[in-house]
Amino acid sequence: MSGRDGKRGGAEASPAWPANLGGFRFLAGPCGIKEAAADLAWIIAEPAARCAAVFTTNRLQAAPVRLSRENLRRGGGRVRALVVNSGNANCATGAAGRRAAQATARSAAQLLACGREEILVASTGVIGVPLPWKRITAQLERWSRRADEDGAAAAAQAICTTDTRPKLAGASFRFGGRVYHVGGFAKGAGMIHPRMATMLGFLFTDAPLALPLLRRCLRQALAVSFHRITVDGDTSTNDMVALLAAAGKPLAPAAAAVFTPALAAVAASLARQIVCDGEGARRFVTITVEGARTAAEADRAARAIAHSPLVKTALAGADPNWGRILAAAGYSGARFDPERAEVQANGMVLYRRGRALPFDEGEAKRRLDVKEVEVRVRLGAGRARAWMWTCDLTEAYIHINASYRT
Amino acid sequence: MSGRDGKRGGAEASPAWPANLGGFRFLAGPCGIKEAAADLAWIIAEPAARCAAVFTTNRLQAAPVRLSRENLRRGGGRVRALVVNSGNANCATGAAGRRAAQATARSAAQLLACGREEILVASTGVIGVPLPWKRITAQLERWSRRADEDGAAAAAQAICTTDTRPKLAGASFRFGGRVYHVGGFAKGAGMIHPRMATMLGFLFTDAPLALPLLRRCLRQALAVSFHRITVDGDTSTNDMVALLAAAGKPLAPAAAAVFTPALAAVAASLARQIVCDGEGARRFVTITVEGARTAAEADRAARAIAHSPLVKTALAGADPNWGRILAAAGYSGARFDPERAEVQANGMVLYRRGRALPFDEGEAKRRLDVKEVEVRVRLGAGRARAWMWTCDLTEAYIHINASYRT
């Protein structure tokens, strides 16, 4: 199983929240950061869940990223709730930004009668603008008096910025005679007008799993999902993926064998949805590199091809431009002999062993002017392989990102 | 002197060939690779010159790159002539491509009665298409019967692909009571429709300089010129810069002190001209990073900012988007504390010590909607600095590169 199609180890995800995933409440709606749109989600684990999370590696890190990392460490991975807002990234906002994130966490902790370190916060939206945190805490207070909930789909909508649609996925697995569920939602990775935005992913399971296992499974699932996608290569200041598992006596470690494929399938489905909704994207592109000397070199070659603006613009034009593809592999640092390499696009062999192969231009255009394109590069230097998911680069991307802020 | 404006150590280049640079002949015109356009240049050193050169680091290397590197080594840096064609890159053309490059060199060597290893060849244009080398050798033969020459400007025109104008530069320097000259021409670094193209640079001096000194001076000049530019971050398969110095008793090593600044000024002028003529470019952008902990980190930060499609699209839109600039520095690997950093664009301070500074939107747009933009980032982490030259990323770039090959 390559994981390229959102399946792993037989697990398959559907692009919807799993109906029977219990243990979490979702409250979502507008708190007034955006004009007349949902911009706040409150996700409550009942009782407190175990949580593993990864955060952006950007040196410029938003206040919520810093606070959530710290809380997770101080609370030993015990999380009672997540507060997520869109419309404001609370990044590059100085000491006031730190205080805003802390005030949000403190308010949620008071309302849930838990420790502050059991609250994670996440933000996405404009950077450099003070976060109107009192609107958030006022909304949390109103919500705290409600018994019903809005559901994961409403939360998925509330965390969106320029995403054109919410992104949800679900899967299930069986262990010890019981059925467990994995659900998740995410928002787009394209850095976004007016300033920039963020990839946020939230994953949930009703399977009670021990923290070390949770961390390992998250790492493995990310390696075949969120870590495999690129829209424009820019890493946001607010990126975060959190995995919450229901409390309870931990399942045996053998559960990982069935949990990880389900988690990976959900994460991969969300990652695909993010790429498909990339700014200006018209095609979903899988770059597969085979025959590299090492896994690291396969990865570098796949990333170089997936990042190349020349490759991505050619794909936008349905141009079977193997020269750009091979050139990107050539500067990636992967060691290979171009005379032994091969390039395919949607099954057409374009280049093999040092030479261009003749192909019918009209036929090539028809085969590539489609929603989904697979580029396959065989380096002929070894047995390692890697893949990346990306999208084409269209004029709409430039239009979206060059528009002057209003 | 920072070299940012094409001046170094007091040397200044003009964007024209120096009138009195002797020792080289230039023949240029159409040989039939392109339809009805100049596509061949023959550059002859009389007598054989000393030559230092650098070639692309891409693993996919065109046949002329391989042959020229080999000839330079075998001939000990002695070069009688360069044959440069546009319209065909002779890349990914297998054994036939190697034979085509060799046949070209052999023909030039026979006509000049010199060793084959004294000929360098360079090609730029479509890749994967067999080079019609007989058209080249037939033209060399016709030219060999001519006494006059076409000049460097004609050669600069003949090596162009989608460049909208030829790029030439010249400077002079004084040593031991004599005036010497440096001249050069180049073609664009933007990878080009229909497949991709190449950065070629040819530098000449009438100062007889020893080979080791020539190599060192070239390396120093490149570090502040061609190595500082990026249009789209893609490294071509055919890149090459060659420096030819007239034969004769070598000048004293002290000449380097006056030669290097002149050479750097010429190379920097050409590099700037390449960026200004980048595909779809409307603005010339200097990215300066100061206050880094090490020179390598300053370099990485400057390159990350210069490569970021988000920064480049914001610049196209005259958007003072300091968030994208700081985020790019943040993921570059340079170590700094964003709370101590500062971002300026054309003299406006946009961000300082962890906070956005208020600025007038209309005024900002007026200041940035100009031909030349300087982005200055102070990391506040040390004393090292670096700069890069780049251009904005416009919809025209996508249009040029996504067009289907015709």
Of A326, A336, A405, nearest to B92 by CB-CB distance is A326
How many interchain CB pairs under 8 A, A with B?
210
Band the pLDDT of B310: cuts 50, 70, 90. Answer: confident
Q: Is the CB of residue A398 less than 8 Å away from at least one CB of chain B?
A: yes
> What is the least distance, in Å, from the CA of B60 to any CA of chain A?
5
CA B370 vs. chain centroid, Å, equals: 24
- CB within 8 Å: A327 and B94: no
* DSSP label at residue B237: S
pLDDT average, residue stretch A305-314: 88
Quote the pTM value: 0.82
Contact B313 A338 (CB under 8 A): no
Measured CA to CA, the distance from residue B107 to residue B95 in angstroms comes to: 18
**Within an 8 Å CB–CB cutoff, is residue B340 touching chain A?**
no
Q: Which CATH class is domain A284-402?
A: alpha beta
At the top level of CATH, the class of A24-276 is alpha beta
Cα separation, B403 vs B406, whole angstroms: 9
The residue from B104, B161, B198, B286 that is catalytic is: B198
- Rg (C-alpha) for chain B, rounded Å, is 22
What average pLDDT does the segment B15-22 reach?
94
| Contact of A3 with A264, CB cutoff 8 Å | yes
pLDDT confidence band for A122 (50 / 70 / 90): very high
A115 min Cα distance to partner chain B (Å):
29
Give mean pLDDT, residues B267-275: 93
Taking only the tens place, the pLDDT of each residue in A2-23 is 334 444 456 899 999 999 999 9
pLDDT of the residue at A399:
73
- List the single range of A96-110, A189-203, B138-152 with lowest mean pLDDT: A189-203
* Contact between B395 and A393 using a beta-carbon 8 Å cutoff: no
pLDDT at B268: 95
Note the pLDDT of residue A256. Answer: 96
* Mean pLDDT over the full length of chain B: 90
Min Cα separation A167/chain B (Å) = 24
HSE, side-chain direction, 13 A CA sphere, residue A136: 30
* Contacts A329 to B, Cβ<8 Å: 59-60
Partners of B310 on chain A (C-beta within 8 Å) are 191, 196, 232, 234, 401
* % chain A with pLDDT above 70: 92
Instruction: Give the whole-angstrom CA distance, residue A26 versus residue B182.
Output: 71
3-state secondary structure of A40: strand
Range of weakest confidence among A84-93, A368-377, B136-145, B181-190:
B181-190
Cα A78 from Cα B217, distance rounded (Å): 61
**B152-201, pLDDT tens digit by residue?**
999 999 999 878 899 999 999 999 999 999 999 999 855 433 334 578 99
- Residue A235: per-residue pLDDT: 66
Question: What residues 130-189 of chain A have any CB closer than 8 A to a CB of chain B?
Answer: none
Tell me how far CA of residue A313 lies from CA of A390, A392, B72, in angstroms.
12, 6, 37
Which single residue is written with the structure tokens 């909607």? B369
Residues in B touching A398 (Cβ below 8 Å): 313, 316, 393-395, 397-398
Which residues on A lie below 8 Å from B127 (Cβ)?
323, 327, 356
Contact B274/B165 with Cβ under 8 angstroms? Answer: no
Chain A residues with beta carbon closer than 8 angstroms to that of B128:
322-323, 351, 355-356
A65, A161, A282, A313, best to mutate vs chain B, most B CBs in 10 Å:
A313
ipTM of the complex: 0.73
CATH fold of B7-276 reads: L-amino peptidase D-ALA esterase/amidase (3.60.70)
Residue of B193, B331, B390 to mutate, testing the A interface (most A Cβ within 10 Å of its Cβ): B331
Place of tokens 């999370």: A53
Q: State the best of A191, A293, A350 to mutate against chain B, taking most chain B CBs within 10 Å.
A: A191
pLDDT tens readout for residues B336-354:
998 899 999 999 999 998 8
Mean pLDDT of chain A: 90
Q: How confident is the model at residue B277 (pLDDT cuts 50, 70, 90)?
A: confident
* List A198, A230, A286, A394, catalytic entry: A198
Domain chopping of chain A, boundaries: 24-276, 284-402
| Chain B interface includes A231 (CB < 8 A) | no
A198 labelled catalytic: yes
